[in-house]
Amino acid sequence: MRTPRLFILTIGACCAVAQGGPVFEPWETGHSEPVDAVAAAELSGWYATGDTGQDAVEIRDIRQQLMRRITRTELQVLLPWMTLDQGNDGPRALAWTDSGRGLFLVVCDDAASPDGLGSDAVVRYDTTTDQLSVFARGEIGDASGPAPAVMHYAGRLWLSTDAGDVRVYEATRNTTSGVLLSSWAMPSGELARGFGLARELGLGFAVSETGLYRFDLLQGSQVPELVGPLSGARGIAYSDHFGNDFQEGAYILTGTGITHVPKFQATGLLAFNPILYASLDTPAHDLDRTPCGRLLIGGDGGAQILRDDQDSRLDFESWVLDEFEQVTAFAEGLVAPDGEPAGWVIDADTASGASRFHPPSPDAAAWVIMLEIAKDHLAGNQASIGTVRDILRRYAGHMPDGISPSMSADGIMHHWYSPWSGDAAPGWSDEYATLSTMLIVMAADRARRFYPGDSDLVGAADTIINRVRNWDHYIQPGTNAMYFRAIGSGGPDFGTASSPYNEGVIFIEQAAAYGEATSALTFWLDRASLPEAEYVSGLSVTTNWPNNHLPAFVSLYPYIAQHATRDSVVWNRHIENSLASHGAWVDDNAPRFMTVFSAGTTKPEWGGYHADSLSDHPGDVAAFTSLMAFSSSGQTAPSVGAYHAYRHGARQSFATGASMLYRRSNIDPAYTPGDAGLPDVVIGALGLAELIKPGTGDAVLAIPYRPECPADLSPPLGELNFFDVSIFLGAFNAENPAADLARPFGAFNFFDISAYLNAFGAGCP
C-alpha cells in the first residue's frame, strides 16, 4: 500500500506564479489514495479520476457528485487474466469522448496473459447503458513504468505504448472492439506520455520525457513535428478557454510543475519559450482540460481542480443563474413590447438592432407563463403573478378593451393573432392550431393551480380551458392520430392528421382529462406500439415514422411539462437515448460545440426556420436551448456543454436586451440567427430551473391535470356555497361558456342546469 502525501492547497505554499493567478481547490475522490489518471469530456460535464491503489475509477459531475464508481471487482471480472492488487497495475490512463457518452480506461498488468492475447487492455465504459466492455487488448505498458497516453477525437482513439508507437483505432458510435486503423512512431522510440487536443486548430500534441510534439489529427501514419525540448514531461492538456484569452495553449506537467506553452509557440509561429505557470510541492501524474475552463490534476495527494483568478467569465453556478435571468428578460420583454394592448405575447424577438416582425401567438404566451411560474417557484417573484394574470386575461378575452382572440367553434385558437383586432394576423397563416391551443391550456392549468387565490387569474384560466370542446373529435378513430388543425365551424381539418409520436401527446393527455380519450393516451404513451429510430445500436428512440429522427424539442416539451412522461421509466430511457444519440453524433463528427438538433432559425439556404434532427440538419446547427432543456432530468452534464459554448462567446444579443445562448452553426461559425422563437428558447431556462432548485419540474410544471369542480365558481375555492350557484345562474342567463356543462355544447338548456346541480350536490367530483 502506498502512503499518500497531501497537496498543500494554499496558493502561496503551492505555486510560484509567472502569469495569471492559479487557484487550486480539492476535487473529491472519496478516498485518500494517490490519483494516477484524470480525464474530463471536452464538450459536456463528465469528469473522472482513476487510481491503481484501489484499481478504481470515479465518475463525477461538475458539482462533484458521484455518478459511478468502477471497482476492482468489476475490472477483474471483465479482465480475468489480470492480477489486480494494491500495486501499480490497474487503470493508468483515461480518456472521455467529447460528449461524455464513453470513457476509455487503459488497464495495465505485468502478469503474462495465459491466452497470449496481451496482458493489457483498453476498457470502454458507456455512461448511457452503464456497461463495461473490452475495447482492445495488447501489450501497452509496464505497470511499473511510465503511464501510457490515450485520447479520443472524431471517432478515433489514440493510444501510446511502451514500444514507442502510437496506435490509432476506429472508435465510432457503433464500434464495439477496436479496429486498428494506423500506427506511427514517436522519435527515437520515446514513449508518448500525454496527448493534448487543439480542436480549433485541427492539431494534436504529444509529450515525451524530453519534448513537445505536434501532429495532424486527420493524418494516419505520420512523423510528429518537434515543437521544442522539455525536461521530465509526463502529461499535457491543451485549453483554449483556461483563464483569459492570452492564456490559451498547452499546459504540461514537467519536473518543475505546470509549464505553459502559449498558442503561437505551440503552433510554431513564435520561438519556443515555455513559461512556468505554477510549481507543485508534491508530484502530479496527470492533468486534463475541463469543459468548464479549468484543469483537472491527479497526483500523490489525490485530485485537484485548477482555475485562474484572471478568468473574467462567470463560473458555472453563476452562469446558470444568469442564463435563466437572461432568458427571463427575453421572455418578459416580448409581453406587449411595442405598444400592443396588454397581455399579448410576441412569438419571437429579433437580433439586437433589428425591428420585430412576428405577431403574438398562444404558444409564446404559454411558455412565458410556464417560465414565470418557475421563476416564482425558484425565488418568490412578486411580479410574476401580474404578468401571468395579464396574459391569461388577454387570451381568455377578459381584458376591458374588448379585444378578444377569435377561435373556432370548438375553442381552437389561431396560431398567429393581430393584437389590434384579435383576428388572425394578416399575412400569416390563419390556421386554427390544436398544438397552439394545447400549450395555452397547459399553461392555464398550471397557473390556476399555482395561483389559486387570484380570482381574475383563475377565472381567465378556466375560460381558456373550458371553452375547448369536442376534444375527442381531434383524434382519428382507429389510428389515434391527432389532427393539427381545426376548421372554423367546428371539428378537425381531416387533411392534417399526424400519427404519434409528436409533441401532441400533451393535447392527448388533455383530451383524456377533459374528454374521453383515455385509450388514445394509453396508446400514445406505449413506446412499444410506436415507431422507432436508432442512431446508436441498442439505443432506440420513439418517433413518428420508422428510422426518422425527430427534432429534440418534440420530446423535451412533454418531458418538461407532462407528468405521465416524466414519471415513466421507458420515457426517461427515451430521453436518455435521445441525448446519447446526439452525443454519438458529436463524438464521431467533432463539432465545435456539444450539439443537439432541434427546430429554430437557420440560413435561408438551410431552410430558413428549420426543424433540425439527426435525420436532417443543414448547417449542423447546435441548439443550445434544447441542450439545456435536457437538464430537466436533473443532470448537470448537458448544461455544462452549454456553459462551454458560453465560454467560447456563443451568446447572442437580442432587441429585448437579453444576451443568451440560442443557436450556432458548426459549419459557419460566423452565422448569427436573425431572430429567435420564444417557444424554442424558454425550454432551455426550464431545464436550468431544475438545476437551480431540484424538483421544480415535478412540483409546478409537469403536474397531472385535475379538472376543476364545475360547481366551484367563486372564492373561497374548494368551498361550495350559495355564491357558486348564483354565479352559475348568472352565467347561464348570459349564455356564458362557463355555464355550458352538458352536451350538446353551445346549446344552453336544462341539461346544463341539471349537470351543475348534480355536481354541486356531489360536493365536487
Rounded-to-integer distance, Cα 62 and Cα 316, Å: 9
Average pLDDT over residues 278-294: 94
| Residue 455 bridge partners (DSSP) | none
Q: Determine the pLDDT at residue 351.
A: 97
Mean pLDDT, to the nearest integer, of 447-465? 94
pLDDT tens digits, 529-546: 999 999 999 999 999 999
Write down the pLDDT at residue 755: 76
List the beta bridge partners of residue 79: none
Alpha helices per DSSP H over 350-407: 362-379, 383-396
Q: What's residue 743's pLDDT?
A: 56
pLDDT band, residue 3 (cuts 50/70/90): very low
Q: In this model, does residue 190 exceed pLDDT 70?
A: yes
Residue in the structure block whose three cell numbers are 360547481: 711
Task: Give the Å distances, CA to CA, from 679 to 16, 413, 578, 668.
Answer: 50, 17, 20, 24
Tell the burial category of 713 from Cβ atoms under 10 Å away from its Cβ (0-12, 13-18, 19+): buried
Least confident interval from 132-136, 215-219, 368-372? 215-219
pLDDT over threshold 80, residue 606: yes
Q: What percent of the chain has pLDDT over 70?
A: 95
Q: The C-alpha cell of 266 is what?
A: 505551440
Non-local CB neighbours of 397 within 8 Å, separated by 6+ positions:
404, 405, 422, 463
Q: Which residue has the cell 512512431?
A: 185
- Is 81 within 8 Å of 125 (Cβ atoms)? no
Neighbouring-strand partners of residue 125: 103, 132
State the angle between helix axes of 383-396 and 362-379 in degrees (0 to 180), rounded to the nearest 10. Answer: 160
* Banded pLDDT at 659 (limits 50, 70, 90): very high
Residue 15 reports pLDDT greater than 70: no
395: left (phi over 0), alpha (psi -120 to 50) or beta: alpha
The DSSP element (H or E) to which 586 belongs, if any, is helix 569-589
Residue 748: pLDDT band with limits 50, 70, 90 = confident
Distance, in Å, from the CA atom of 283 to the CA atom of 186, rounded to the nearest integer, reads: 25
Residue 87 has which C-alpha cell?
Answer: 500495486
> pLDDT per residue over 699-745, tens digit each?
999 999 977 666 777 777 567 888 888 888 888 888 876 677 765 65
Q: Phi and psi (nearest 5°) for 75?
A: -65, -40
CATH number among 2.60.40.1120, 1.50.10.140, 2.30.38.10, 2.40.50.140, domain 316-701:
1.50.10.140
Average pLDDT over residues 245-269: 94
CA nearest to 563, candidates 525, 596, 616, 595: 525
Dihedral (Cα; 12, 15, 20, 26), 10-degree rounding: -90
In this predicted structure, what is the pLDDT of residue 727? 85
Backbone angles phi, psi at 526, to 5 degrees: -90, 95
The residue to which cell 424558454 is assigned: 682
Torsion angles phi and psi, residue 247, rounded to 5: -95, 10
Query: What is the reported pLDDT for 241?
Result: 97
Start-to-end C-alpha separation, the chain? 69
Is the per-residue pLDDT at 162 higher than 60?
yes
CATH class in words for 11-308: mainly beta
Give residue 11's pLDDT: 28
Average pLDDT score over the chain: 93
Q: What is the pLDDT of residue 381?
A: 82
Which range has the worst mean pLDDT, 389-403, 427-441, 699-713?
Answer: 699-713
pLDDT higher for 675 or 282?
Answer: 675
5 or 244: whose pLDDT is higher?
244
Task: Kindly list the distances between the CA atom of residue 64 and the CA atoms of 14, 22, 27, 189, 229, in Å, as whole numbers in the listed order.
Answer: 23, 20, 7, 39, 36
Dihedral sign (CA 539, 542, 546, 550) = negative
pLDDT tens digits along 620-631: 999 999 999 999
- Spatial distance between the Cα atoms of 335 and 361, rounded to a whole number of angstroms: 11
Give the Cα separation of 376 and 379 in Å (integer): 5
Nearest to 550, CA basis, from 496, 500, 497: 500
Q: Quick one: which of 638, 645, 593 has its CA closest to 44?
A: 638
What is the average pLDDT across 222-226? 89
Query: Phi and psi for 44 in degrees, rounded to 5?
Result: -155, 165
Predicted confidence band at 18 (pLDDT cuts at 50, 70, 90)?
very low
Give dist(CA 723, CA 726) in Å, integer. 5
Cα gap 465→159, rounded to integer Å = 61
**Among the listed ranges 13-17, 81-85, 144-148, 606-610, which one has the minimum average pLDDT value?**
13-17
Res 5: pLDDT: 28
* Least confident window among 279-288, 303-312, 365-374, 641-650: 279-288
Would you report the helix, strand and coil content of the chain in percent, each value rounded to 5? Answer: 30, 25, 45
Q: Got the DSSP string for 637-679?
A: HHHHHHHHHHHTT--EEBTTS-EE--EEESS-TT---SEEEHH
> Model confidence at 115, in pLDDT bands (50, 70, 90)?
confident
Mean pLDDT of 93-109: 97
pLDDT at position 757, please? 84
Per-residue model confidence as pLDDT tens digits over 48-67: 999 999 999 999 999 999 99
Judged against a pLDDT cut of 90, whether residue 6 lies above it is answered with no
For the chain, percent of residues with pLDDT exceeding 90: 82
Q: Can you tell me the distance from the alpha carbon of 186 to that of 206, in angstroms, rounded to the nearest whole number?
A: 9
Q: Which residues contact 626 (CB under 8 A, 6 or more apart)?
A: 551, 552, 553, 556, 596, 597, 598, 680, 683, 684
Distance between CA atoms of residues 77 and 296, nearest Å: 29
In the structure grid, which three cell numbers stand for residue 265, read together?
A: 509557440
Q: Given pLDDT bands bounded at 50, 70 and 90, which one contains residue 92?
A: very high
Mode of pairing for the β-strands spanning 131-138 and 150-153: unpaired
- Going from N- to C-terminal start, the domains of the chain cover 11-308, 316-701, 722-762
Q: Please report the beta strands in 240-331, taking only residues with DSSP state E, as ranges in sequence order.
A: 249-254, 257-262, 275-278, 284-289, 295-299, 302-308
Q: Phi/psi at 404 (nearest 5 deg)?
A: -120, 140
**Cβ-contact 453, 430 below 8 angstroms:** no
Rounded CA-CA distance 198/218 in Å is 12
Any idea which of 1-10, 118-127, 405-414, 428-437 has the lowest mean pLDDT?
1-10
Amino acid at 750: F
What is the Cα–Cα distance from 622 to 642, expressed in whole angstroms? Answer: 10
Write down the pTM of the prediction.
Answer: 0.91
* CA dist., res. 326 & res. 349, Å (int): 13
463 pLDDT more than 80:
yes
- Helix residue spans in 333-454 (DSSP H): 362-379, 383-396, 434-450
Residues near 425 by Cβ (< 8 Å), separated by ≥ 6?
A: 359, 360, 414, 416, 417, 418
pLDDT-based confidence at residue 4 (cuts at 50, 70, 90) = very low
Give, in order, the Cα–Cα distances in Å from 406 to each of 72, 340, 398, 424, 483. 67, 17, 13, 7, 19
Cα distance between residue 568 and residue 566, in whole Å: 6
What's the Cα-to-Cα distance from 560 to each of 336, 410, 482, 506, 704, rounded to whole Å?
A: 26, 27, 21, 11, 12
Residue 274 CA to residue 294 CA, distance in Å, equals 19
pLDDT at 50: 97
For 424-434, what is the mean pLDDT? 97
Length of the chain: 765
